[in-house]
Amino acid sequence: MLHLKQICKSFGSNDILENVNFDIDTGEVVALVGPNGSGKTTLLNIIRGELKPTKGNVVLKNNITISFVPQENPKNDAPVKEYLIKSNPEIYKIYKALEQTRNNPVDYANNVNKYYEIGGYELEDKLIKTVNRFNFDPDDLTKPYNIFSEGQKRLWTILRALLEEPELLLLDEPTNHLDIEMCLKLEKIINYSKTEGKAVLMVSHDRVLLDRIVDRTYYLRRGEVISVAGGYSQMLEHLNQSFIARQKKAKEIQKKINQLENEITQRKNWAGQKESEKRIADKVQNKGFIGHKSAKLAKRAKVVEKRANEMLNELKETRPFVEKALSIEVPKYNVDNKGVTEAKEISFGFPDKEIFTKVNLSFTTKDRIGIIGKNGSGKTTLMRCLIGELKPDEGIIRKNKGVRCRYIPQNVQKLFKKGTLLDNMRIPSYDETYIRKALGGAKFRKEKVHQDIFTLSYGEQMRAAILKAILDKAEFLFLDEPTNHLDIESLEVLDDLLNEYPGGMLFISHDRHFIAEHGEKLFSLEACQLKQFITKTNIDTAKFKEMSEFSKEAVELARKRRQKTE
C-alpha cells in the first residue's frame, strides 16, 4: 500500500531524516515512535504530500486515499453534525444550500434532490451508524463542536477522518487530551478500521495502546528507522537485545583496535631500531649485508605500519554507536512512615457547578495513590484543595507540616526561574559535580546543562522538576498529569526516577502504563464522588476491557512491582 524508499529530509544544514525505508500493508496498524524532535511529524507530512523529501521516493499503491488527523484540534463553532458532514466538501456544499433555501420551497426541493443524488442522506445515515457503533451520544450531534473538551473534540475529529473513507489513516498523537475511557473508545475505532481493511499509521507515546493494537512499530532515532514486529514491549526487548549486541561488538572492535595500536607502536620502534642500525652500518662504511637488511626491514615495517593504520581507521568507522546505559543517580535517603494529609467530608463547587462532595481521604509518606476520572471531573481542583491552594466549601483538611512535600503542576514552568538548567538545579548541600552526575543519570546531555530552562522540552522540564524534588529529599510528591506530552524516552526516565524515589506520592494521570507502574491505591472521581477501587488477585492482566477492570488490574500490577523493589 505504501512504500518509503531512502527518504532523506534536511532543513538547512540540519539533517532530520536519513535513508528512511518502510512499508505499510492493507489492514495493518503501524506505530511510529521516537524522541520528541526526531522527525516523526515531518515523516507524516512527507507521506501525505505536505512536504517533499530532500531525497528518496514515496510510493503509494494505486493513488490510495489518505486522511490525516494532526496533533491539535481544529477551531470550529459549527454543530458537530455539520463539522462531520464537512468531511465531504461536495455534500457539505449542498447541505449548506439546504439550510439557506429552507424558506424557498422550489429551491429547497431542488437541493433535496441534489443532496439525495450525491449521497448526502447516505452519508448522514453512515454518520448516525458510526456514532452509535462507538457509543457516542447522538444528541451531541446538534451541539457546537467548540463546547466539548479537547479529548471529546479529538474523537470527533478522528470520526470525521473515518467518514472520508480513507485507505490509509494517519494519526499524530491521537491520545492527546484523552482520558482512560476515551482511550478505550479510540482502541475500538482503530480496531474497527483494521477490520474494514484500512491501514493506520500513528505517532504515539501511549505504551498500553501500542501493546494492545499495533502490528508493527517503527522506532525513529537520529534520522534512521528500526522496524520491530509488535508493539511497545516488543520494541523495548528489541532495543535491549540490540544494545547488548552492539555493546559486545563494540568491545570486540575496541580489543582489536588496542591490539593494532600496540602493533603500530612496536612497528614504529622496530623501524626506528633498524634505521639506527643502518646509520651505524653507514658510519663504519659497511654497505653490505647489514645495511641492505636493515633498510629492507625498515621499509617492511613502515608498510605494515601503514596497513595497520588503515585497519585501525576502518575499525573505528565500523564501531557501532552504543548509548550509555541508563543509570539514575539520586541521593539515597530514608523516609519514615508519617501521616501527610487527612481530608474529612470536604466539598467544593462553583456557583453553577458542584465539583465534589463529602470526600474523605488520608495518606502517608509510604502511600502511592493515583486519581483517575474523566476530563473535567475535578481531579486537579481536588489536588489543589489537598495542597492548600484552594479552600473547600465544607469539611476539614489537616496537614502534617513536618513532611517535606513538593507539588509539580501541569504547568511545570511555574517552578523555574530565569536561567539555565544547572542554575535551577543548584542546591547548597550538593556540589556542581554531583548535580551534573544526577542530570546525566536522568538522561540530560552535557549541552543541556547550560541551556536556558525555558527552551527545554516539556518532558525535560518535568524530569528536572522531579529530579530536583528528589535532590531536595522530598518525602511526598503531588503530581498533576506528569506524563503529558512526554516522549517514550522521557516516560522511561520518569518511571526510573520515581522507582528510585523513596517517598510517597499522589498523582493524577490518564496514562495507563504509568498508573499500572506507580498506583498502589487507586481512586476515581466521578459524579462528584471519590471512589476507591478494591483490588482482586484474579483480574485477567491481559485485558483492559472496561475502565474499572483496568483500574483494579493497575493497582495489582503496581503492588507486585513495588514488592519486588523493596
Any domain includes 323: no
Task: Identify the top-confidence range among 160-174, 264-278, 519-533.
Answer: 160-174
Q: Are residues 356 and 393 in the same domain?
A: yes
Residues 223 and 245 in one domain: no
Query: Do 232 and 301 fall into the same domain?
Result: no
> Which triple of cell numbers denotes residue 192?
474497527
Do 310 and 387 lie in one domain? The reply is: no
User: Looking at 237, 253, 284, which one is the last position of a domain?
Assistant: 237
Banded model confidence at residue 283, pLDDT cuts 50, 70, 90: low
Residues 252 and 223 reside in one and the same domain? no
- Same domain, residue pair 185 and 164: yes
DSSP string, 207-229: HHHHHHH-SEEEEEETTEEEEEE
Where a domain ends, among 210, 237, 264?
A: 237
Contacts of 34 (CB under 8 A, 6+ apart): 40, 219, 220, 221, 487, 488
Give the span between the Cα atoms of 62 and 155, in whole angstroms: 29
Q: Is residue 224 part of a domain?
A: yes
Q: What is the pLDDT of residues 4-42, one digit of tens each?
A: 899 889 888 888 888 888 899 999 999 999 887 788 889
Rg (CA), the chain: 31
Give the model's confidence band at 127: pLDDT under 50 very low, under 70 low, under 90 confident, else very high: very high
- With a cut of 50, say whether residue 557 has pLDDT above it: yes
The set of cell numbers assigned to 378 is 475535578
Where is 344: in which H helix or E strand? strand 339-350
**What residue type is 537 in one-letter code?**
T
SS (H, E, C) 424-465: HHCCCCCCHHHHHHHHHHCCCCHHHCCCEHHHCCHHHHHHHH
* Least trusted range by pLDDT, from 185-189, 209-213, 272-276: 272-276
Let me know whether 474 and 501 are in one domain. yes
pLDDT band at 547 (very low <50, low <70, confident <90, very high): very low
Cα 40 from chain centroid?
A: 11
Q: What is the DSSP string of 130-195?
A: HHHHTT--GGGGGSBGGGS-HHHHHHHHHHHHHHT--SEEEEESTTTT--HHHHHHHHHHHHHHHH
One domain, residues 293 and 205? no
Residue 331 lies in a domain: no
Residue 36 lies in a domain: yes
Same domain, 207 and 230: yes
**3-state SS class at 483:** coil
Q: What is the pLDDT of residue 255?
A: 80
What pLDDT, in 10s, does the model give residues 474-526?
A: 999 999 999 987 888 888 888 888 988 999 999 999 888 898 889 888 898 98
pLDDT (average), residues 52-77: 89
DSSP 242-306: HHHHHHHHHHHHHHHHHHHHHHHHHHHHHHHHHHHHHHHHHHTT--SHHHHHHHHHHHHHHHHHH
CATH assignment of the domain containing 92 = 3.40.50.300
Query: What is the residue-wise DSSP string for 21-70?
Result: EEEE-TT-EEEEE-STTSSHHHHHHHHTTSS--SEEEEEEGGG--EEEE-
More confident residue, 266 or 74: 74
Give the residue numbers spanning the domain of 300: 240-318
Residues 223 and 291 in one domain: no
C-alpha 218/C-alpha 47 separation (Å) is: 15
- Strand 339-350 and strand 368-372: the pairing is unpaired
Position 169 pLDDT exceeds 70: yes
Report pLDDT for 124.
93
Band of the pLDDT at 540, cuts 50, 70, 90?
very low
Query: Per-residue pLDDT for 380 more than 50?
Result: yes
Q: Where among 237, 254, 284 does a domain terminate?
A: 237
Considering the domain boundaries, does residue 329 fall inside one?
no
Is the residue at 95 inside a domain? yes
Indicate if 353 and 259 belong to the same structural domain.
no
Instruction: Name the residue among 346, 318, 300, 163 with its Cα closest to residue 252.
Output: 318
Q: Are residues 213 and 247 in the same domain?
A: no
In the predicted model, is pLDDT for residue 94 greater than 60? yes
How many domains does the chain fold into?
Answer: 3
Asked whether residue 131 is assigned to any structural domain, the reply reads yes
Whether residue 60 is contained in a domain is answered as yes
Cα distance between residue 15 and residue 223, in whole Å: 7
